[in-house]
Structure 1
Amino acid sequence: MKLLITGATGYIGERLARLAFREGHTVYSASRKQTDTHYYWLPFDLKKPTLDIPDETRALVHLAADTTHNKNISSETEVQAARELIRNSALTNTKLIFISSQTASPDAPTSYGQTKWRIEQDVIATGGVVIRPGQVYGGYERGLFGVLSSLVRRFPLIPALIPTPLIQPIHVDDLAVAILTVAAREDIRGEIFCLGSVRPISFSAFLESIATNRLNVLRIAAPLPVPLITLARAMLGKRRTAQLGLDRLLSLLTLKSMSTQTSLQRLGITLRPLAYGMHRSGNGRRRHLLVEGNILLSYLLKSPPGQSLLRRYARAIEALGNGQAILDSKLLSLFPSLLALIDNPSFLCNEQGKALSWRLHLAMTLAEASPQGAVVFLGLKRSGGFLRTFIALGMSVLKEVCWRTLALLTKPLLSNMLIKRKSPRDA
């Protein structure tokens, strides 16, 4: 297809242009500055929205918007620019796809949401398509996602707003796939698509996912009553509030949950899990396998495994299993020795423990075949002696008795250390 993208240098536009080019489409980038040399560049400015649409262009994706805190462009200017694009797309029979926002509403608390809603009405009236994404995340740390990631990185506390706003995240690459799908399908005209997770999550849970799955840091949730933010906005003034992003934070409180399941099914889009999407690659499956491998191998070797050994574990699970990690416990990540509580026949032989048993055997096989494992299992580079050996045996017996006693006491809680997922090898 021939695709014309306004705002192709922005957060969503950059990922969309890259995906479209990778899939073999011809990409025209409409922006103030020249973009990647792989794309054809067309000069475009919201203040002067004249744009010549190339012949046989399949779709015009309108992403350009003024998101700066000082609003260099008035809302009326943005609306008029959109109307000019609508007129040009109608003359050339080009499908117009407008990327709006979940905040779009005639009574939105920000001019951003009100402007999006006004443009939506014109787009739908002329047979164009509107896409309302939820909270976009993933990829490079840009847009609101970049602001939130920066805040979580810099501060030890994350705000748990009271009352808690709910958001519906969507990975930027999943959104790009949805846009290309809308562009390609002839049967989609004059519709609004709401895209985001089917089940909303709390804003604080989203921030916690950034900390855990994106930045790999520990952050503590601190209750923050919304009236305090409202008071801060009144004291700081409109301009300073916008600079700090407090106005966008407050706009979350008025978000209405979207019904997204129908839109996702119509486009055939399956959203990736939030934890996986937070990974810089957009697919955290390998990362979770590495974490699981680190737990198992650290437990077996009594020391952190080498990077090459971890990669061999991940590749083995991907080749022999379903490629999914089954261990899901921050406690085990911090203290791998706690695996001793479930490393016993009574647990490993039941239905839930079979998958873990197989992975433990696999980790042991890989560890034994490594130089690091040879040092541990063959006792290389260890000084001997009768007294040292006697004490070591006594300590081993004592630890085994203690671990077995503790395992009996905590057995009802052990299932929480595993994701309740059946291994394909046991299916």
Structure 2
Amino acid sequence: MTTVAGTRVRKYHLALIGVAVLILLMSLVRVISGQNDITSSGTFAAALMLSVPIGLAGLGGLWAERAGVVNIGLEGMMVLGTWFAGWAGYQWGPVAALVAGLLAGAVGGLIHAVATVTFGVDHIISGVAINLLGPGVTRFLSEVLYKEGTPAGEAGAGITTSPPLKGEGIDVSLPFLSSGPDLLGSLERTHWFLLSDLAGILRGLTHGVNVLVILAVLMLPLTFFVLWNTAFGLRLRSAGENPWAAESLGVNVYLIKYVAVVISGAFAGLGGVFLVFVSTKYVEGQTGGRGFIGLAAMIFGNWRPGGLAGGAALFGYADGLQLRSSGAVTSFLLFGAVLLLIYIGLRIRAMLAPVQTEVAVTGSTRDYTLLAGAAAGAIVLVWLWMTVDKLPNEFVYITPHVLTLLVLLVASQRLRMPKADGVRYRRGEQH
């Protein structure tokens, strides 16, 4: 137990050191490139808002897949959440929108559970069906309820949009960091190395934060506590690792899978509610593939809440940066070059260690190949950064999606999915 606790502490320390190094590199790139939006409070405020729906969708995928059910229908469940949140919100206000969006996403999860758990439908096929069903159902409902002549139509709605929500969202600023004079804002405007960057990051993450953002962030530690520190969480994860072993110990695997997938849909629906709150109404297509990016963030995080949070933050930051400044996106080229140089330095340090075995000698050949590739990549990235003044808008817009593919490519080398994820389960039928 002591060894496990010690390993966990070391992982936390490494994570904190990694965050500190990342902030230091971002500050260095900001100074060299002159792109102040890299660490501005506006960029991080936008990144926080854009990360939340991705993180909520990823949490939905985490709950389902930890129970052994692949859920690629998160996008369709988010779409259901957005429509019903907009429909209830314009009539009864934000609380009704929250409840309606949660229930709509949960219903989508229930449909997926019935198909996969009860009838044994292939999980991918069922998820694709949900993704097709969500937009189709919402478009049909919009044409019926928002057409001209209905109360909603008279409020200015159309086939692709709902009337605005009643009431206003609740924004709060965290105490101590945001009370009194805007010290963080003043420090950010100095553009000092590291200090102004820390001020910009803290100001963006603490000023004018929506209550739903705080709720979504709290869901991460809550999910970790429930899944890794409760008997229910142990049963749920056992259903995703070996459902027949769990069955032999008296676990109702069918019930566990149903509960997990319904909760998964509710999280996806909550992500849709957040999008409606941000835009103050439902708009067709406003999910923008965030359900799929949330699934990618979950895989990047190795099916764990902490890694999921990092993946969602990465994708949200890339999206927020391209919204704030298309020129700042080119700083990713320089940032990537710096990371490659750090990698080269670490590999050289490892290679300078005494070579004692034939295996180590064989490995050094591979090291030289990796070093050559990393050096060539760093040179190319620096050259692109120096020669490309401004990226085409088409490339800027797809930056988050390109980043999704690159991150998954790198992360795929260390992934460990639940062993029974996607496996068809039937009571008493050992595979």
Please give the range of the TM-score, normalised by the shorter of the 2 chains. under 0.3
Q: What is the TM-score with the length of structure 2 in the denominator?
A: 0.24
Q: What is the TM-score with the length of structure 1 in the denominator?
A: 0.24
Please state which structure has a larger fraction of its residues in strand: 1
Please state which structure has a larger fraction of its residues in helix: 2
Greater RCO, 1 or 2 (C-alpha within 8 Å, sep 6+): 2
